[in-house]
């Protein structure tokens, strides 16, 4: 299932760690309060970096494709 493309701001920390700061969904900016988990997998030869993040209201799964430098929203969980 393809994700929904999102606009995102990230900070590249020392040691090449990526820290998502905010993302836009439906013209609304969501400030990321915390990254709860991150992992890496691949589809074929395409590596994907996954970030489970929260804005304090919901949990989102954001995915970064380093080959085309794109971010997508893959999942959303609300109460």
Range of the structural domain that residue 64 is part of: 4-78
For residue 18, the model assigns a pLDDT of: 86
Burial class of residue 52 (count of CB atoms within 10 Å of its CB; 0-12, 13-18, 19+): middle
Q: For residue range 8-29, what is the model confidence (pLDDT) as tens digits?
A: 999 988 887 889 999 998 899 9
Secondary structure class of 49 (helix, strand, coil): strand
The total of structural domains in the chain comes to 1
Nearest in space to 23 (alpha carbons), one of 1, 43, 46, 52: 52
Q: For residue range 27-44, what is the model confidence (pLDDT) as tens digits?
A: 999 999 999 999 999 999
Burial class of residue 10 (count of CB atoms within 10 Å of its CB; 0-12, 13-18, 19+): middle
């Amino acid at each position: 299932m393809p994700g929904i493309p999102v606009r995102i701001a990230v900070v590249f920390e020392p040691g090449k760690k990526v820290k998502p700061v905010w993302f836009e969904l439906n013209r609304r900016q969501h400030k990321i309060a915390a990254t709860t988990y991150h992992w890496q997998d691949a589809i074929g030869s395409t590596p994907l970096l996954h970030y489970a993040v929260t804005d304090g209201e919901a949990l989102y799964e954001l995915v970064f494709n380093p080959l085309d430098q794109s971010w997508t929203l893959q999942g959303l969980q609300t109460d």
